[in-house]
Amino acid sequence: GKPVCECNTCFAGPDCSQFSPACPADVDSGNPLFLEPYWMQHAAKGAVVVAGWHRMSYAFNDHSIISEELEKHIRKLHERVGNAVTEGRFIVFGVGSTQLLNVAVHALSNSSSPAGVVATIPFYPAYKSQTNFFRSMDYKFVGDTSMWKNTSDVNMNMIEFVTSPNNPDGQLKKAVLRGSSVKTIHDHAYYWPHFTAIPAPADEDLMLFTLSKLTGHAGSRFGWALIKDEEVYERMLKYTDQISFGVSHDTQLIALQQLKAIFQGNNGSDIFEFGFTTMRKRWEILSKALSESNRFSIQKIEPQFCTFYQQLRGPSPAYAWLKCERDEEEDCYEVLRENGIISRRGSVYGAERRYVRLSLIKTQDDFDLLMLRFNSLLSQENFYG
Ligand code: PMP
């Protein structure tokens, strides 16, 4: 007989084709599927075919474990977008930028006493969880940056994570700590025209980028670091050699193919046009829906001049950082969950319970469902006052 179809919570009916009203809007994860339609439109350009006997060697052309061609394309893309200085910078590849977070912490904690690792609340949780997980003698996570700002005689080398634009709130950030004992890791995962104005090329000592939020190929696990100091570069390279002898060549091939495809699209404008338009539209829809609400608010991001577009542009962040306005103790995650929206708790980012993060970078269906659920939640407010 016919196999019985097990529907998930979002679909019902004998062949699971009927959309179920019980389906929650799941905007928890930062899965960058908003770019899927772009690659569907450019299916041939993004495709990769590899023969079975191809690229078997540990090395490219028998000398390097990183693709020089890929490195060249990364530098060219930064120059085209104007979001980072690559001149005089070394490049290290990683298994996503996730791997490079700890590679960077390791490389910067080159001293006899443990370095203190900090980030500013609300911050991306991996900085803390990874640093704790490795339980190294060389570094330890010591909390929110603000706790260390005024301690002028901190007897410790410090490593500050700076995320710009920030995950979760989309703000462009600068380092907080200063001084000779402070080193910084600038995480620029979202410093692309999809998500933010590009006021100037980033020019910091150690910068991290990822393919995940640029082309959307999160599953390919590819990130890179731009490094000014040669000694730091050597330490990072040594780490990646030790643990994996570099990044999969298949991954590098996929990354190269996507970057090449980007340049074929109107010399690298197409994908950002698509990304920015999509993200901007979503932000405008959400902002408009919330403009009358006293119950919820989202972060304000000022319009800024964008050197990539050569004009002032409004916000288009990857995430909404939503605040429940009713009372300080309110558990915003629960409020949303009861109304069919799965968000991410503010506490994940070190913030209060009245904050949650809503991902705006998933599929159009995910976003549409979010708005459907949100609008019905907001209409209760209008009804009950
Ligand atoms: N940094 C930030 C701020 C992120 O949001 C993410 C992914 N959500 C990463 C780094 C890691 O991304 P990946 O490992 O996919 O490169």
Question: What digits encode the pLDDT tens for the residues 54-76?
Answer: 889 999 877 888 999 999 999 99
Task: Note whether ipTM > 0.90 here.
Answer: yes
Residues with CB under 6 A from ligand 1: 30, 96-98, 124, 163, 167, 187, 189, 210, 212, 218, 223
What does 251-309 look like in DSSP terms, one character per residue? HHHHHHHHHHHHHHTTTTTHHHHHHHHHHHHHHHHHHHHHTT-SSEEE-----EEETTT
Rounded mean pLDDT of 264-275?
A: 91
Percent of the chain exceeding pLDDT 70 equals 97
Q: Are residues 109 and 236 in the same domain?
A: yes
Q: Is residue 47 part of a domain?
A: no
Domain end call among 264, 293, 314: 264
**Shared-domain flag, residues 214 and 74:** yes
Question: 183 alpha carbon to ligand 1 midpoint, in Å?
Answer: 20
Buried b (16+ CB within 10 A) or exposed e, 117-148: bbbbebbbbbbbebbeeeebebbbbbebbeeb
**Confidence category of residue 5, pLDDT binned at 50, 70, 90:** low
pLDDT (average), residues 266-277: 93
Residue 47 pLDDT class (50, 70, 90 cuts): very high
On whether both 305 and 278 belong to a single domain, the answer is yes
Q: Cα(180) to centroid of ligand 1, in Å?
A: 28
DSSP 57: S
For residue 85, the domain's CATH number is 3.40.640.10
Q: Kindly state whether residue 49 falls inside one of the protein's structural domains.
A: no
* CB-neighbour burial class of residue 55 (10 A; exposed 0-12, middle 13-18, buried 19+): middle
Please report whether residue 326 resides in a domain. Answer: yes
ω before 165 within 30° of 0 (cis)? yes
Distance in Å, CA 97 to ligand 1 centroid: 6
Atom of ligand 1 at shortest distance to CA of 167? 3
**Cα of 2 from ligand 1 centre, angstroms:** 43
Statement to judge: residues 31 and 162 lie in one domain: no
Q: Are residues 197 and 87 in the same domain?
A: yes
Q: Note the pTM of the prediction, 2 decimals.
A: 0.95
Q: Is the pLDDT of residue 1 over 80?
A: no
Quick one: which of 206, 132, 104, 213 has its CA closest to 166? 213
Q: Is residue 328 one of the residues assigned to a domain?
A: yes
Going from the Cα of 211 to the center of ligand 1, the distance in angstroms, rounded, reads 9
Specify the number of domains making up the chain: 2
Q: Are residues 170 and 297 in the same domain?
A: no
Please give the number of the atom of ligand 1 that sits closest to the Cα of 163.
3
Q: Tell me if 5 is assigned to some domain.
A: no
The C-alpha atoms of residue 155 and residue 333 are separated, in whole angstroms, by: 39
pLDDT at residue 250, rounded to an integer: 95
Give residue 286 CA to ligand 1 midpoint distance, Å: 24
- Residue 4 domain-assigned? no
Mean pLDDT value across the chain: 94
pLDDT of residue 383: 61
pLDDT of 153 higher than 60: no
- Check residue 21 and give its pLDDT: 83
What domain range includes position 287?
Answer: 11-39+269-384
Distance CA 265, CA 272 (A): 10
The pLDDT tens digits for 163-213 are 999 999 999 999 999 988 999 999 999 999 999 999 999 999 999 999 999
Is residue 216 predicted with pLDDT exceeding 60? yes
Domain boundary among 264, 288, 305: 264
Beta strands at 222-227 and 311-313: parallel, antiparallel or unpaired: unpaired
**What residue has token string 């994996």?**
244
Same domain for 146 and 210:
yes
- Top mutation candidate among 28, 95, 97 for ligand 1, by most atoms within 8 Å of CB: 97
